[in-house]
A and B are shown apart, each in its own frame.
Chain A
C-alpha cells in the first residue's frame, strides 16, 4: 500500500535542527534556502545557541515549539543526538523527518548500528523517515526548498527521486535551464526507511505530478520492485536511469542463458516489462521526462517534420532511421491543403520544407493542418531562430534602427515567439505532440523562440536528433500502454 508522504512534501510547518550562525553549516543553509524560496508554512529554527539567525529566533530546544505547528523535522545535527530529536518532535505532532545528517551506514560500522537504531525509533514513533545522508527535499506547490544545497526549481509537474543527491542537483539545474518545472524532488540518501519506490508510489497518486524521474543504483527485492514499478507505470510514466549498469554482474556460467544474462540485460527486460522508460544517462533521462511532462503521448510512430530549410529536415529524418519512428510519405490531402499556403517550390514531401516562403501566419496554419491530420502521430518543428538570429545581428549592427531595420527586427522576433507558442497551443488542441528543436536553446537561449518556450515551461530541444530520441521513447511507452488497454 502506498505510504502517505504528505507530511514530507507538503508540511504545514518545518523544524530545522542544527541551526547556527555559521553560513557554512548545513543547518544555516537549510534555513536560508527555506526562507529564500518563500516556504509558505511556518519555520522553526533549533540550535545550541539561542538567539537569532537570518533574522529568525533560534529555539534552544524542540520542547519550546508550539504543539501541532510543524509536521516535518529537517535534521542537520550529528547522529548521536538525532533519536532524541525524533522523540521530542513526535511529542509536538511532527509526522515526518528528513535526515540530511551523515555519519550513518555510509560512514562505518558504528554508523550502521546508528542507522538501524534511528529507523527503529522512527518506526516506534510512527514517523516517516527520509535519508539519512540525503541532501534534501523540494516541493514547489509548497514553495519548499528544504535542502543543504542549491538550486530550487520552477514549478511544474515533473517529480524526481534519486539514490544519489548530486543527480537530483543536475536535474534541478536542467529544470532551471530549460524552464520545464518540477513538482517534487527528493534525495533518498541511504534510503533507510523510505526507498525510491515508496516515493514513486506516492508521486503516482500526487495530483501535482505528471511524470516521475528516478536514479537507481541498487534494488532490494527484485520481484516486488518489478510489481510495484509496473503498477505505478500503468498510472503515470516513470523514466529511470540505472547507475552501475556496466558493472559486470555475477554470471551463472553453468548455462548458456546464464552467460548471456548480465544484470543489466535482465534489468533492461524488467523495465520493458514494467513499462518503465529507461534512459542511458541522467541528461537523456531528463529530456525524455521533460518531453513526457510537456507533450501529449503520441498515438503511433508516424512523424512529419516541418522545417524552414532543407538540411535540418534531412538530418531529422536520418535520425529517425535509428529509431522505431516512421517519417511517413506526406498524405495526398495534406499535400493539397499545404499547396494552398505555399508557393509551388515547396518540398511537397516529408520533411515539409517551407523554403522560407512563409508569411505571418503560414507556419501556424501548416502546423495546424499537419498535427490535426488523422495519419500523423507527431510533428517535429525545426528552423526556429533563423528569423530572430538575423534580427539580432541587425539590432547589434551600426545601421539599427534606421533603414527600416527596427520594424523588420520587431516583426521577426515576434514571429519566432508566435511560432513556438503556436506549436504548444496546437499540440494541446490536437493531442498530437509538436516538438521544437533548435541549437539556439543552448547557444542563445535569450532569443525569442527558446525564451518563449522556457517562460511557458515547455521544452525546446537542442537538436533534431535529441528531439527524435525522446520522441522515440514516448512512442515506445505509448505502445506499451495501448497493448495493455486494448
Chain B
C-alpha cells in the first residue's frame, strides 16, 4: 500500500537531503502564511500559492495553484479562496507559498522503484512536451558523480543546456549535486517508492525544484 505525501511534506523530505527546492513557507491559515512570509526574507513577490494535502493529487486541474501573486493584499485573497476550495474528502490540507522561479528551461528528475532493477534515478527534459520527446535517461541508484555527469551528457537536447535565450549555461555541478541528493533520499528512506521533481526550472542556469512529490510504501 502506498501513500503520496503532500507537496509540503515532499519538499521538506527532499530538501533535508540537499535537493534544491524553491524557498517556501506553509501554514494552515491565511494569517499563518502572512506571518511566515514576513519572517522569511528569501521569499519575495511575485509568489505562487497552492493548497496541498496528501489526498490532493491534481492541484492544477482543480485550480488549487495560483501563479504570479504580486502583493500581500492579493496573496491574502488567494489564500482565503484556496482554503474555501477545500472539499471534505481532501482531509488535512495546508497552504504553501513559494517564490515564482523564473527560467525558460524545464527539466525533470526523479526516483522510481523498478521491479527488476530496484531504485533507479531519472533525468529528463521537462515541460509540456516531456512525454512527446521522451528525452530521458536512467541509472541504477545510487550513482557516482561521474555517472551523474554522464546522465547529463545522455540528454539529446544538449543545445538546451548551453547558453539559451539570454540565460547562462546549465550549472552542471548544481545538477550533479541535485541528482546525488536525490539518491540520498532513496538511500535514507527505504520506503520511498518514487520521487518526482517536476519541473526543475533552470534559474540562472541552476536547477531548482518548484514541485515535489514523494510516494512511500507502507
Contact = CB atoms under 8 A, between A and B. Distances in A.
Nearest to B137: A269
Given A254-B2, A260-B122, A269-B139, A223 B117 contact: yes
Interface stretch (B66-74, B107-115, B201-209): B107-115
B131 A272 contact: no
Contacts of B122: 257, 260-261
24 contacts: A223-B140, A226-B117, A252-B194, A255-B110, A255-B195, A256-B108, A256-B130, A256-B198, A257-B110, A257-B196, A258-B112, A260-B108, A260-B131, A260-B136, A265-B134, A269-B120, A269-B137, A270-B139, A272-B139, A272-B150, A272-B154, A273-B143, A483-B150, A484-B146
Contacts of B177: none
Interface of A, helix, strand, loop or mixed by DSSP: helix
Given A255-B110, A256-B108, A273-B147, A263 B116 contact: yes
Interface in A229-267: 250, 252, 254-261, 263, 265-266
Interface string A190-231: 000000000000000000000000000001001100100000
B118 interface: yes
Q: Determine the interface band of chain B, counting residues with CB < 8 A from chain A.
A: 35 or more
B7 interface: no
B27 interface: no
B124 interface: yes
B213 interface: yes
Interface in B123-178: 124, 130-131, 134, 136-140, 143, 146-147, 150, 154
Given A223-B117, A272-B154, A258 B194 contact: yes
Contacts of B113: 252
- Which are the 10 A-B pairs with shortest beta-carbon distances? A257-B110, A269-B138, A222-B117, A255-B194, A222-B116, A257-B112, A261-B112, A256-B196, A266-B138, A273-B139
Interface residues of A, number: 25
B94 interface: no
A273 B131 CA distance: 23
A259 B215 contact: no
Contacts of A255: 110, 112, 193-196, 213, 215
Contacts of B195: 255, 257
Contacts, number: 92
A157 to B, nearest CB: 28
Nearest to A221: B116
Contact of A266 (B2, B120, B143): B120
A255 B138 CA distance: 15
A480 B112 CA distance: 24
A268 interface: yes
A265 B114 CA distance: 11
A326 to B, nearest CB: 14
Contacts of B117: 222-223, 226, 266, 270
B146 to A, nearest CB: 5
Nearest to B138: A269
A257 B114 contact: no
B2 to A, nearest CB: 7
Interface string A460-486: 000000000000000000001001100
Interface hub of B117, B139, B193, B194 (most chain A Cβ within 10 A): B117
B214 to A, nearest CB: 9
Contacts of A254: 2, 4, 193-194, 215
A447 B92 CA distance: 80
B194 A269 contact: no
Contact of B138 (A250, A259, A268, A480): A268
Contact of B118 (A219, A223, A265, A269): A223
B15 to A, nearest CB: 18
B112 A252 contact: yes
Contacts of A273: 139-140, 143, 147, 150
B194 A265 contact: no
Nearest to A324: B153
Interface in A14-44: none
B175 to A, nearest CB: 16
A257 B147 contact: no
